Amino acid sequence: MSLADKVLAVNDDLPIRTELPVHSGKVRSVYWLTEADSRRLIQEKNYDVPADTPLAIMVISDRISAFDCIWHGEGGMNGVPGKGAALNAISNHWFELFRDKGLADSHILDIPHPLVWIVQKAKPVMIEAICRRYITGSMWRSYEKGEREFCGIELPEGLGRDQELPELLITPSTKGILKGIPGVPEADDVNITRDNIEQNYQAFNFQSKQDIDTYEKLLKEGFDVISEALAQIDQIFVDTKFEFGYVKDKSGQQKLIYMDEVGTPDSSRIWDGPLYREGKVVENSKEQFRQLLLNHFPDPDILLNKERMAERSALARDNALPTEVLMKVSEIYCGIAEKITGRTLELSDNPKAEIIEILSSQYQLID
């Protein structure tokens, strides 16, 4: 069996029983179960949700996106071996730690397979909840150009690149295109201030103004929990993006939860501690793949310039990356997952067949 066979690149073609179109994002595909299957599973598995809660199967792929494009490799390798399993293992580890520390639940009800979650339907808060402990990336580029205000927060003079910030900063942006909010451009990923959120909390799907405090508390506490755990393996939690949503528990009470993924190399920057202390920044995150791409192509401006999106898409479509580039990324993802969880990552020889077998025999979801 070739290495390419171990990669789950296409994850929207599984024969899972559903009456709705499969929603496929850059990395995950979501299959909404029928009402009958949702009710049956809630009863059989005793999930802590109301009996009429819609459930979905979320399948992660090994695809890799960067600069808003999906990239592929030589020899039909349309993803990174182990990437999906690594992301899920890391998220599962942090969600469990959050629950143990009494922070909040997640949308995950069950984990049938390393690449699969059973989740309950959540009403998402329309905010990319970003927090930063170091000045790097886009924030550093803006600071270097003379900007001192970010999301309504004033930064001091004299900060250096990759330096630790005086405090953890919450720098949210919009999730999706939101319309009709005064002072907020109608575009995805637009930086917003706390004032924007407070004055239009319902437009961002918050149920009350008090829940803004709750989301900030969960964001800071979640960041601190991950940061402390990473410090124990001498890794630095630099910045991250969390997402939140509302679900109902068995009694019908609404609660704010963590959703999507948390503390992964896709949603966070993680730096190697010993090397940082020597003055070198080494990424244990997707940032290293971005750097590999910038070094690989002769004109990096195509990847950095949003005006050149058509050229960028063609670059991703027409260029198979060398196998060693994808294997280097595999090493980063699997390595950090094993460090964080303390467990060896077991990779499937045929992930699709395994998933179908489990969802058929143990969950009766395959026709």
Residue 250 pLDDT:
87
Q: pLDDT per residue over 279-313, tens digit each?
A: 999 999 999 999 999 999 999 999 999 899 999 99
Look up the CATH number of domain 123-277. 3.30.470.20
**Fold: same for 3-122+342-361 and 123-277:** no
Q: Share the mean pLDDT of the chain.
A: 94
Among 354, 281, 341, which residue's Cα sits nearest to residue 95? 341
As its CATH architecture, domain 3-122+342-361 has 2-Layer Sandwich (3.30)
Q: Which tens digit of pLDDT belongs to each residue from 170-215?
A: 999 999 888 888 889 888 888 999 999 999 999 999 999 999 999 9
Residue written as token pair 């630099």: 238
Say if residues 61 and 9 touch (Cβ distance below 8 Å): yes
Residue-range domain boundaries for the chain: 3-122+342-361, 123-277
Whether the predicted pLDDT of 146 surpasses 80: yes
Full-model pTM: 0.94
Position 250: which residue type? K
pLDDT of residue 1: 59
pLDDT above 70: percentage of residues in the chain? 100
Can you tell me the distance from the alpha carbon of 23 to that of 1, in angstroms, rounded to the nearest whole number? Answer: 30
Residue 252 predicted with pLDDT over 90: no
Confidence of residue 137 (pLDDT cuts 50, 70, 90): confident
